Amino acid sequence: MASGADLKAECKAVRQRFGAPAVGLARVGASGLEALGCLGERRHGSGIAVTEDDLWHIGSCTKSMTATLLARYVERGELEWDTALAPVFAEYGYQVHPDFAGLTLRHLLSHRAGMPTDPSPAAVDASFGYTTPLEQRAAFTEATLAEAPAERPGQAAFCYSNSGYIVAGALIEAMTGTAWEELMQRELFQPLGVTTAGFGAPGRTSRGALARLFGRDTIAQPWGHLGRRRDSFTALNPDDEQADGPAFTGPAGTAHLSLPDLARYVAFHVSLGATAPGYLAPETIAYLHTPLPGDDYALGWYAVPPEATGIGKSAIWHEGTNNAWYAVTLIVPDDGQGLACVCNACPDPILDPSAGMVAMALHEI
């Protein structure tokens, strides 16, 4: 088992290799966090060091969290993985195109719903006409379901789709009358003991515009950075609009939390729920991890067979980025081990599948 000092040394190597302003690594076992290390600056060139309690944006690693939340409603009998959702959406006032008649929750969460990868610029612009993310998601879902999909769900080829996760979030909001953000806190984070989670860029304040006006940027949390090389990084004040994507895209990828809390979440999956007894049945968690035959994406997790991992064992993983942050969550089920990696930038090499962070994580674990 690696010590904190070992992981700090690994953080140094990762920073040198990928050029990120700051890096955090957490090794996880079935009982929880085993070792943690963080190294670097909250903002490039600031000289302000990151700490083990700092918050990190995890991008699309949020997807497995959304799927885990929805699994609660499946276990309660309020949803089913493979039952058509068109009547459910219709019950809540949505007009559903006939080609979406066979749409299921599994289709939405496994990227086989025939929906586009991202909301269109027009959909993003239209969202500004509504006050809350819940209202924005409802409007986006209404527009999405009313038009014919590129391919019918069930017949659609895999197409990684943030849109599908937004629609899944809107579904549970319609059923409960409660915003996805509140459901995540009440139904996921609190039961799992995650206390630092929030949404959007970490460190956002209500006084950001005034602080910028007087040149008083605060650096209470790490900032995200645009740019692909350390000599071209542009730090993003968390109060700037471009610091994260639109809030209504939350179910697809806007969560932030501390590295110890991310490790706590990963440990829940590593242990098949043993770290939070009674939250979900082990077979439900295993279901989230298991793709249909012939697929390599389960429900919020990529699944990699032993012959493709480079370590001779199967793995499940996900990465996330909004182009200013980067995160990886990774589990080797046979070993009961996991790893969480976070960076406050997204340099090009991180996304190289052969030399990137996922490959490093597989060998580090």
Residue range 128-138, pLDDT digits in tens: 889 999 999 99
Q: Give the pLDDT mean for 304-320.
A: 93
The per-residue pLDDT for 359 is 77
Give burial (CB, 10 Å; 0-12/13-18/19+) of 188.
buried
In the structure, what pLDDT confidence band is assigned to residue 244 with cuts at 50, 70 and 90? very high
Residue range 208-234, pLDDT digits in tens: 455 555 445 679 999 999 987 767 889
Evaluate if residue 1 carries a pLDDT over 50: no
Tell me if 65 sits within 8 A of 183, measured CB to CB. Answer: no
Tell me if 365 sits within 8 A of 335, measured CB to CB. Answer: yes
Which are the contacts of 75, defined by CB distance < 8 A and separation ≥ 6?
A: 280, 281, 284
Q: How far is CA 140 from CA 135, 136, 145, 176, 180, in A?
A: 9, 6, 9, 18, 14
- The answer to whether the pTM exceeds 0.75 is yes
Q: What angle do CA 192, 105, 245 make, to 5 degrees?
A: 65
Beta-strand (E) ranges in the chain?
A: 22-29, 32-40, 55-57, 198-199, 224-226, 234-236, 255-258, 302-304, 315-320, 326-332, 337-343
Q: Alpha-carbon distance 141 to 148, whole Å?
A: 13
